[in-house]
């Protein structure tokens, strides 16, 4: 039986790492999880994705977004093993430190499986879709195996949270073209590096990011967990994506009030350490 106790142990990061995140709005941290834990969840999440995936449209017949990945949400609700990873205090404690808040709630999780020969993930900012009143959000991008450059690892435009042009675009061909064009005339560093097993990236809701195509014959398997500060309030939605997210991921939450629905539990708080 595998020992998952590491998941319940908060992980302290350095002041330098927090400062790096504050400047660039992303960070990659090595050895967050052990090889054994990553392999365990790789096998379990892969089996669950295979079981519940309903997308049978061939890659060539999908649009750009559909070619980017298979996307399955809130696996924690249907699988108690996956819930152990999503509710991990180790991951949530890192998110809390990076945002410099005293606790975090779950927004939602999602599996992102970029199939063999899958297409690019266009430039975008996640928070376009979120009806959240502040930018105190962070996504943990958790590779379930070693990810090489030709598999399409996550890429960042470091510090691009300062750019407002492009925030109004949903993910797709237009965002890839217009945001990419905008970023090419800035001084923000384009960061693309492989991921080791156990290495996890954390990025804010407004930093621009993308991923290349998967040029291999192996599925690129990633689990993500999106966190928000524990006192996050719901804002009036500004587009259809935000209205959809309010209904799906914050059911019953009210505008201008703290999002405290059954789907948004507190995963880490300083007072519970």
Of all residues in the chain, what percent carry a pLDDT higher than 90? Answer: 98
Q: What is the pLDDT of residues 140-149, one digit of tens each?
A: 999 999 999 9
Q: What is the pLDDT of residues 163-200, one digit of tens each?
A: 999 999 999 999 999 999 999 999 999 999 999 999 99
pLDDT at 271 over 90: no
| CATH number of the domain to which 152 belongs | 2.60.120.620
Query: What is the 3-class SS of the chain, one letter each residue?
Result: CCCCHHHHCCCCCCHHHHHHHHHHCEEEECCCCCHHHHHHHHHHHHHHHHHHCCCCCCHHHCCHHHHHCEEEECHHHCCHHHHHHHCCHHHHHHHHHHHCCCEEEEEEEEEEEECCCCCCEEEECHHHHCCECCCCEEEEEEECCCECHHHCCEEEECCHHHCCCCCCCCCCHHHHHHHHHHHHCCCCCEEECCECCCCEEEEECCCCEEECCCCCCCCEEEEEEEEEECCCEECCCCCHHHHHHHHHHCCCCCECCECCCCCCCEEEEHHHC
- Return the pLDDT at 36: 98
- Is the residue at 95 inside a domain? yes
Per the structure, the count of domains in the chain is: 1
- Is the residue at 59 inside a domain? yes
pLDDT at 273 over 50: no
- Is the residue at 181 inside a domain? yes
- Is the residue at 269 inside a domain? no
- Is the residue at 60 inside a domain? yes
- Return the pLDDT at 270: 87
Q: What is the pLDDT of residues 96-127, one digit of tens each?
A: 999 999 999 999 999 999 999 999 999 999 99
- Is the residue at 272 inside a domain? no
Mean pLDDT score, 52-60: 95
- Is the residue at 80 inside a domain? yes
Residue 60: domain span? 5-264
- Is the residue at 170 inside a domain? yes
pLDDT at 73 over 60: yes
Mean pLDDT score, 229-248: 98
């Amino acid at each position: 039986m595998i020992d998952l106790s590491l998941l319940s142990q908060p992980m302290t990061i350095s002041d330098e790492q927090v400062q790096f995140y504050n400047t660039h709005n992303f960070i990659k941290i090595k050895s967050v999880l052990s090889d054994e834990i990553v392999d365990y969840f790789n096998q379990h999440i892969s089996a669950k994705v295979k079981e519940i995936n309903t997308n049978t449209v061939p890659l060539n017949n999908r649009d750009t977004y559909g070619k980017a990945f298979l996307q399955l949400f809130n696996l924690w609700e249907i699988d108690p093993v996956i819930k152990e990873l999503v509710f991990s205090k180790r991951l949530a404690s890192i998110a809390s430190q990076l945002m410099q808040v005293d606790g975090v709630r779950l927004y939602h999780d999602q599996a992102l499986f970029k199939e063999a020969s899958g297409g690019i993930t266009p430039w975008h900012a996640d928070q376009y879709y979120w009806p959240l009143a502040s930018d105190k959000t962070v996504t943990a991008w958790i590779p379930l195996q070693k990810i090489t450059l030709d598999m399409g690892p996550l890429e960042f435009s470091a510090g691009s949270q300062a750019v407002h042009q492009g925030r109004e675009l949903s993910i797709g061909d237009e965002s890839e073209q217009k945001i990419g064009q905008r970023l090419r005339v800035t001084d923000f560093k384009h960061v693309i590096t492989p991921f080791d097993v156990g290495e996890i990236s954390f990025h804010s809701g407004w930093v621009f990011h993308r991923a290349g195509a998967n040029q291999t014959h192996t599925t690129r398997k990633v689990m993500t967990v999106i966190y928000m500060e524990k006192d996050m309030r719901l804002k009036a939605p500004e587009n259809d994506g935000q209205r959809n997210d309010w209904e799906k991921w914050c059911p019953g939450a009210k505008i201008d009030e703290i999002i405290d629905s059954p789907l948004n539990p507190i995963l880490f708080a300083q007072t519970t350490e």
